Structure 1
Amino acid sequence: MRSFKFLVPAAVGATLIASGTSHAADAAPTPGTTFVDGEGLPEMVVIAPGEFDMGADGGEPGRYEGPVHHVTIDYSFAVGVTPVTYAQFAKFVDDTGYEAATGCWVPREGTYVEIEGSNWQNPAIGREPEPGEPVVCIDWNDAKAYVDWLASTTGEPYRLLSEAEWEYVARAGTMTRFTWGDDPEGACENANLLDASGPKAMIVTGEPTECSDGYPGLAPAGSFAPNAFGVRDMVGNVWTWVEDCYAMPYPEDGPTNGKPQLEKGCDRRGARGSSWGTTYSRAHPTFRGRDPVTLVSQLFGVRVARDLK
């Protein structure tokens, strides 16, 4: 039987504290507390320690999601309430002059094609990106550069999530097939996936849900209700890069303490969460993306994490 439990009470609230103060969450962080470490930076929420059974004994051919293994996260940490937005990434680029990767891969007619010259500023969506939409068309190196800049500019230990942390936060205490329950049609109230409102010609894998979430493409960050941890859009809208190297199956000697696996498969990194162009067959919290660090995709963004001192 799968299990999930908290090591401290998971009191989720939405108490905004000390916006613009870099040490806001240092002292006795309360789970569910939100804070911002500076103007134009991601809103963060404190996550309680806990333990859960990670992975699943199944998956698509060549994409085994197991074996199931018990993970104990015995520390509090903070995670972005939403994925990083276009405006937040633009602040990083404006401050540093950073040159992000180009040549974004876009779903077209049941496959993916690379659009020459496209990038995070011009992500081939047929219009200008909105400031509050998740930034897309960034590769893993761009995601790392962003969190490294956050750490440098705030003096706080920002980083990418590990796969284990991502799955723990996405589940938020749930043990059902999807984070919202077992029925795929519940997706439209909880996640921006490929559904009845989406372009059918772009389907690469699986079938769309028959309901409509109202977003045929990218949705503004935070468009759907928060989960029990106070986090939004963990599933759907954009895939998010994580720190881990990708190894299948999970290595027998791999970490079970919430830390990333960095010993095997580092030609590819993990991506989690599915996207607006992903069907529900890949929207369950144990599904594992596995992509080259140089992949630039219209469906990929980043969500940040922060250690709490």
Structure 2
Amino acid sequence: MPQNSAARTPAAGAEKSAAQQATDSSKALYGGKSTRRVTVRDLIAAKERGEKWPMLTAYDAMTASVFDEAGIPVLLVGDSMGNCHLGYDTTVPVTLDEMTMLSAAVVRGTSRALVVGDLPFGSYQEGAVQALRSATRLVKEAGVGAVKLEGGERSLAQTELLVQSGIPVMSHLGLTPQSVNTMGYRVQGRGDEDAHRLLRDAKAAEAAGAFAVVLELVPAELAAEVSRSLHIPTVGIGAGPDCDAQVLVYTDMMGLTPGKMPRFVKQYADLRAQMVSAAQGFAQDVVGGTFPQEEHTFH
């Protein structure tokens, strides 16, 4: 009898494991069965399951609706809109009014994705009260489910007050574009001192209540160490394969951004070439008198 009992034990365990796997699959952030709005708790649960997930930027309702339909669970209304949507040279000029307007458009274009709105430069640096005032606008007027801000230890007071006030916070470490005038565009966290500082920032952000940490332009080995050290998910952009999630600026990955792409960008389409071709085709039809034709005309 003991031998038979022991023989049955692994089978029962395997059956439970299979059932658990099926449950986890149904809860998956990408490809799962849930149609409700994704929450920050879902992201932390995915970390516990060891599930990786994608995040993309979006700046308008139409693009957001496409990504929502594609099943992307998290959309970031990034201050990258300054470069790729509003025509600024950097993210620094982006205003809270612009962020609020475009975040609201993204929210209106989605039904499932968690929408995270960036706090732009100058909207939280004065301190926690300013950060709360700015974040409240994004939550109340735009309807975002969370906000993102740059900095670890230097933004702890802001993070703590926002979380205590019921506003989920995603931290952003490594290359922080709002600080481009002081740090430039270069990999962050190289060298023991800088690596320790970044790891300390990540742990401080988690302790302050952040639900996730973006790691931008960070050596892969350091990003892996940070990911292992935190209970909250890490979101990589130029930070190697071991982060819990990955994010790209959608105009980069869709091939809309002109010029040479950063090393960490993978292009999944060439929409710029397709749009140029379509515009030229329309122009040629108009000039040649072949558009509009009868089927495009009212009488």
More helix as a share of residues:
2
Q: TM-score, normalised by structure 2?
A: 0.28
Which structure ranks higher in relative contact order (CA pairs < 8 Å, sequence separation ≥ 6)? 1
Give the number of the structure whose alpha-carbon radius of gyration is greater: 2
TM-score by length of 1: 0.27
